[in-house]
Structure 1
Amino acid sequence: MRVLLTGSSGWLGRFLAPALREVGHSVTGLDLAPGPETHVVGSIASRAVVDRAMGLGIDAVIHTAALHKPDIARYPVQAFIDVNVTGTLNLLEAARAAGHDRFVMTSTTSLMISEAIRREESPDAVWLDEATGPLAPRNIYGVTKLAAEGLCRLHAADHGLACAVLRTSRFFPEDDDTHKRPSGENLKAIELLHRRLTVEDAAAAHVAALEKAPVIGFGLYLVSAPPPFSRADAAALKANAAALIRERFPDAEALFAARGWQLPQSLGRVYDPALAETELGFRCRTDFAAVLEALRTGAPLPFAHDPAYTSPLVKGR
């Protein structure tokens, strides 16, 4: 299949392009920033750019391009609407005009986090899945990604374009832009308990969605490493997460301490990816247990951490 991959110069794109080729697809990359996987340089906010890319011979679209939460400090609100909403509409309309039978879009779990969830006001950990709502995104990034999801839903319902939307949890390599403690690697290891996946697993999820989209019609999936918890653990996670982690992983605290890390005392939210496993047949390969195994054996950590990472779009400004 000939796949148009938007966001091909980005962090996900550089892993997704080779993952698609590995299973036999050809890839045409479209991005505002040049890169080794990018063949068409331009903005998806321009219908002319989208049509130029489609004219190269395309059978399906995987749409990962977006302005993200860190971009809020760099771009005006209108830019988010232009890229995340108008850009998505341009791609959907072009895919429909070309007679495509599938469209995959990267969304974000961020749009599920209201201000109350962010502040962790609930006495229990909040369990988040595709049924969570009503949604109240707390910034323009979340608002525009939710709108883009709605456009995909409409094109599936009104025009028969099968769309799979993946709400991915965190997989960025850089440090968190709001949390300084615990350290970057320590935080990423903790997040694999409840709200992170590796970029390799994010890429694999998109490949799986591309395959399954035509039989789904429209599907919305939360994609994250499987948590070692259940809804029954919500109160314990909020009150004393470290105790529950020690119960499930008896050597976790010692392994963390040997690296100068700490276990979390409280976890305020958990992402549940069960629906993606049921309907897409996809389950992340890397989880918290993989981190502990790496710590036991001295193997490299199973996730990317690069505090100096800067997106190609920012580098080119």
Structure 2
Amino acid sequence: MRILLTGSSGWLGRHLAPMLRGAGHVVTGLDIAPGAETQIIGSVADRTAIYRAFADRGIEAVIHAAALHKPDIARYDTQAFIDVNVTGTLNLLEAARMAGHDRFVFTSTTSLMISQAVRDEAGAEAAWLDEDFGPLAPRNIYGVTKLAAEQLCRLFHAEHGLASIVLRTARFFPEEDDTHRALSGENMKANEFLHRRLTVGDAAAAHLAALENAPQIGFGSYIVSAPTPFDRRDVRALRQNAAAVIARRFPQAAALYAARGWKLADRIGRVYDAGAIERALGFRCQTDFAAILNALAEDRPMPFVHDAHYQSPKEIRG
């Protein structure tokens, strides 16, 4: 298929484009910043640019990964989030509808599931986040606009039959966390594979699985995260003494972490359950917490990327 990949210069896009080509697709990358995987410089908020790309490139399917993200809240105003995350999605859906497409894949975020109460970890138990979690009350403009874009995808399936898969991806960014610095960045990322992280390679592979399965699914919204070793019976213990829960499942973890000078989580306030995408699409992330421990035991590099100096291409572009 001839696929339009938005956000092609970004962290996900530059990993996803080669994977799509490897599966036999012809990829046209669109981004506001130049990059090796970007053929069209433009914004998804520009309807004319989108329609021209469809016409000139014979686009047959869309993977929409372009967005303003949570760290962008400090750099862009509310209107910019509406323009890019909502209007941009609408432009692509309208173009796909008029072109008669049978599939559309949208990169969403687990962030929209985090209300202020979940973020504050106000309860006595860890929040168990799956596709039935709700009501949803995003705490910032990023989450609000991504949820609105998800609803547009649902609406276009209901009203026009456009098969749409929404992927609520957990964390896979390479840079430092923009709010929490209690642990070193690499240590923190390793811990998150227990409950809220995946590799960028797994994120890309999930999009390929969604593209292939969309016509059979119709509409679906799925959390994409490394498979958690926990279950719902652990939610109270995770809030009170996460290290003890981890030790029961991974007795070697404490020693391996100590040898690296790392620290396991004392408390875990939320867990993403990615079981639904495995049941519906047959997709399961390849890298999990066991892979982290194996790398530590064998003194190999971590199976994820940590780059404290990473900058988004759009910010480098200015």
Q: CA deviation at 1:38?
A: 0.4
**Sequence identity, in percent?**
69
| 1:307 matches 2:308 | yes
**Correspondence for 1:230:** 231
Deviations 1:133-175 (A, max 9, x none): 1100000000000000000000000000000000000000000
| 1:175 matches 2:176 | yes
**Correspondence for 2:186:** 185
* SS of residue in 2 equivalent to 1:284: coil
Q: Distance in 1 between matches of 2:58 and 2:284?
A: 32
Deviations 1:21-46 (A, max 9, x none): 11111100000111110011011101
| 1:93 matches 2:94 | yes
* SS of residue in 1 equivalent to 2:86: helix
Q: Distance in 2 between matches of 1:23 and 1:236?
A: 43
* SS of residue in 1 equivalent to 2:179: coil
* SS of residue in 2 equivalent to 1:131: coil
Q: CA deviation at 1:258?
A: 0.8
* SS of residue in 2 equivalent to 1:105: strand
**Correspondence for 1:293:** 294
**Correspondence for 1:32:** 32
Q: CA deviation at 1:92?
A: 0.1
**Amino acid across the alignment from 1:207:** L
**Correspondence for 1:263:** 264
**Correspondence for 2:203:** 202
Deviations 1:26-81 (A, max 9, x none): 10000011111001101110101101211211110000000000000000000000
Deviations 1:212-246 (A, max 9, x none): 00011100000000000100111111110001111
After superposition, residues 88-167 of structure 1 pair within 5 angstroms as 88-167=89-168
**Correspondence for 2:67:** 66
Q: Distance in 2 between matches of 1:99 and 1:39?
A: 23
Q: Distance in 2 between matches of 1:44 and 1:268?
A: 35
**Amino acid across the alignment from 1:167:** R
Unaligned 5+ runs, structure 1: none
**Amino acid across the alignment from 2:41:** V
Deviations 1:267-295 (A, max 9, x none): 00000000000001100000000000000
After superposition, residues 268-283 of structure 1 pair within 5 angstroms as 268-283=269-284
**Correspondence for 1:7:** 7
**Correspondence for 1:21:** 21
**Correspondence for 1:215:** 216
**Correspondence for 2:44:** 44
Q: CA deviation at 1:298?
A: 1.0
**Amino acid across the alignment from 1:170:** R
* SS of residue in 2 equivalent to 1:29: strand
TM-score by length of 1: 0.99
Q: Distance in 2 between matches of 1:272 and 1:26?
A: 33
* SS of residue in 1 equivalent to 2:84: helix
Q: CA deviation at 1:300?
A: 1.1
Q: Distance in 2 between matches of 1:313 and 1:216?
A: 34
TM-score by length of 2: 0.99
Q: Distance in 2 between matches of 1:49 and 1:261?
A: 48
* SS of residue in 2 equivalent to 1:236: helix
Q: Distance in 2 between matches of 1:52 and 1:281?
A: 35
Q: CA deviation at 1:183?
A: 0.7
Q: Distance in 2 between matches of 1:295 and 1:33?
A: 36
Q: Distance in 2 between matches of 1:237 and 1:15?
A: 33
Deviations 1:176-222 (A, max 9, x none): 00001111000000000000000000000000000000011100000
Q: CA deviation at 1:247?
A: 1.0
**Amino acid across the alignment from 1:286:** T
Q: Distance in 2 between matches of 1:17 and 1:253?
A: 38
* SS of residue in 1 equivalent to 2:16: helix
**Amino acid across the alignment from 1:214:** P
* SS of residue in 2 equivalent to 1:246: helix
Pairwise CA RMSD: 0.5
* SS of residue in 2 equivalent to 1:285: coil
- Aligned pair count? 317
